[in-house]
Structure 1
Amino acid sequence: MSGTPEGDAGQVTPHTDQPAGGDGPARGESLADLLGGRGGAIDATLPPLAFAAGWLVGGESLWAGVGAALAVGAAVAGVRLRRGDRPRSVLIGLLAVCVAALIAVRTGRAENFFLIQLLSNAASALAWAVSIVVRWPLLGVLVGAVLGQRSRWRRDPALLRAYGRASWVWTVTYVLRVAVFVPLYLGGQVLALVVARVALTWPLVAAALAVSWVVLRRSLPPGHPGVRHPVSEDRPAGDPAAKPGA
């Protein structure tokens, strides 16, 4: 994973609902609607599962595991391209599988297929934590980019604070993965790494999307128009000029 909620999550399609007055974010809308993530997270678990299957069927053969992972990774990339995911995102996901396979083959250690995953989660945990400290929480950066707000959301103190609090949820997910992966990796527990990879990918992403959305909503003050309508300090929440496109 990269420094984003499932960096290989594929194409992001902004939701089109309008915010309900005084009810924070739009009614019925969620981070899953804004950012996607679950589908890409599920896709990301398929190559590691294929690696484990090939490794076992081949009598703990690295080549069998790598071949299965590459085949499934290519198939997933093809499906994602056909369903309209961004080519860059698809290629990054496929490249990650190729690099993981190469590291495993070159070192002769099956657990090294998961080294990229471990390192990327450690880097992501650091990136998310730093982004909060420097008041550029990555959740705000991502949602702001999807909604075409650029950095306008940062001029809303309440929204900036809410994004910071919600970003800690994602930081914790990356820290949790590292805490689980490191002892399994050091112990060479290949099958346990696969189980952890699946359990801590799409279920954890789904949970983080839901929890961070709740934190975001509850962190906004009553009457705030929501993430789609940042309120600048010099513009009250009821000012039409604060609305996008006004």
Structure 2
Amino acid sequence: MTSLDKPTSDTDPTTSTDQQEADAKAVTEAALFEAFGGIRGMVETVLPGLLFVTIFTIDKNLTYSAIAAVAVSLALVAVRLIRRDTVKHAFSGVFGVAFGVVFAKMTGNAKDFYLPGMIYTLGLAVAYLVTTLAGLPLIGLILGPVFKENLSWRTRNPGRKKAYAKASYAWGLILLAKCAILFPLYWWGDTTQFGWVLVALKIPPFLLAVYLTWVFLAKAPPPIDVFAEMEAEEQAEKAEKARRAAATEAARSQEF
């Protein structure tokens, strides 16, 4: 049983408060690790861009840099396929690199390799803030299925909805701050310097956002496991049908 398989809506009355809090933190940590790919996902996110800027720094050759970035992205996907792991993080890296290569080759400007990712980051920041203002925080939509609570937090768990709102605001503001640094550098900075700054800003903002999400959710009420509720309802319906069938059969037996 993994930490995500532990009960999340009911707690053992004999369990200490400290232990319950530790369990909640462990479940939250496991969910975030699963949703955002963990260390491996971060490596797959950073490595193509790092290889691109490294090669471009050495010989200023856009074609070689682009080929290397695409090759390592495809290699990461191949490794996941061979290991039969989930490929969503690796595939997202491939698409990001492919778009970057297309932009850069079309304009002939190596800096444009990073432009699609920057636009995506800005759009994601806006999405976090707008969905939260609309009462449907994006981080809740992302993590709800991971916690097996789906959208139950919207109406049945206001404490978790508040935590998701805080986390979504944190993601939105952190990504906006990142964009506020990168976009001016994109327009005014040297291609090589800009590339290294962008690579350096890949992980720290992400880790900060994940950490704040973990803090907010670890202190929130536990998720309501709607999958367990549906299974319980199905079991109850089956039991009721069996009871009715037995009662009908017993009545028929008495008639004879």
With the length of structure 2 as denominator, give the TM-score of the two structures. Answer: 0.74
2:5 pairs with 1:16? yes
Confirm or deny: 8 A CA contact 2:128 2:168 kept in the other structure: yes
Report the counterpart of residue 203 of structure 1 in structure 2.
Answer: 204
Please state how far the C-alpha of 1:140 moved relative to its aligned partner.
Answer: 1.2
Equivalent residue, structure 1, for 2:174:
173
1:125 offset after TM fit, Å?
0.6
Counterparts of 1:75-154 in structure 2 under 5 Å?
A: 75-154=75-154
Supply the AA of the counterpart residue of 1:213: W
8 Å contact from structure 1 (residues 14, 35) kept in 2? no
Letter in 1 for 2:119: L
Amino acid at match of 2:171: W
Unaligned runs of 5+ in 2: 233-256
Following superposition, the deviation at residue 53 of structure 1 comes to: 1.8
Return the offset for 1:29. Answer: 1.3
Contact map agreement 1:43 1:76 (CA 8 A) in 2: yes
Deviations 1:116-146 (A, max 9, x none): 1110011001100011011111111111111
Residue number among 216, 223, 227 corresponding to 1:227 in the alignment:
223
> Match of 1:35?
32
Q: Is the 8 A contact 1:42 1:201 kept in 2?
A: no
Structure 2 residue aligned with 1:238 = none
SS for the counterpart of 2:26 is coil
Deviation at 1:93, TM superposition (A): 2.2
Once the two structures are TM-superposed, the CA of residue 48 in structure 1 deviates from its matched residue by: 0.8
Percent identity reads 26
Contact 1:47 1:72 in 2 (8 A): yes
CA distance 1:169–1:84, shift in 2 (3 Å): farther
The 3 A distance-change label for structure 1 pair 14 and 122 is farther
The more displaced of 89-98 and 165-174 is 89-98
Pick which of 48-57 and 111-120 moved more.
Answer: 48-57
Q: Is the 8 A contact 1:70 1:98 kept in 2?
A: yes
Change (3 A) 1:105 1:31: farther
Aligned partner of 2:243 in structure 1 is none
Q: Which has the higher contact order (CA 8 A, sep 6+)?
A: 1
Tell me which residue corresponds to 2:254: none
Corresponding residue to 1:26 among 8, 23, 41: 23
In structure 2, do the counterparts of structure 1 residues 153 and 244 end up closer, same or farther at CA, with 3 Å as the change threshold? farther
In 1, the alpha carbon distance for the partners of 2:130 and 2:5 equals 31
> Aligned residue for 1:63?
63
Note the C-alpha offset of 1:193: 2.9
Q: Is residue 191 of structure 1 aligned with residue 192 of structure 2?
A: yes
For the pair shown, the structure with the greater C-alpha radius of gyration is: 2
Aligned length: 217
Contact 1:111 1:188 in 2 (8 A): no
Distance in structure 1 (CA, Å) of the matches to 2:140 and 2:22: 13
Greater helix fraction, Structure 1 or Structure 2: 2
CA contact (8 A) 1:14 1:146 kept: no
Deviation track 1:41-99 (CA, whole Å, cap 9, x = no partner) reads 22111111111122123x21111211111121111222233344434553332122111
User: Structure 2: how far apart are the matches of 1:118 and 1:167?
Assistant: 19
Cα distance change on mapping 1:17 and 1:28 into 2, 3 Å: farther
| 8 Å Cα contact 2:25-2:218 kept in structure 1 | no
Q: CA RMSD in A?
A: 2.6
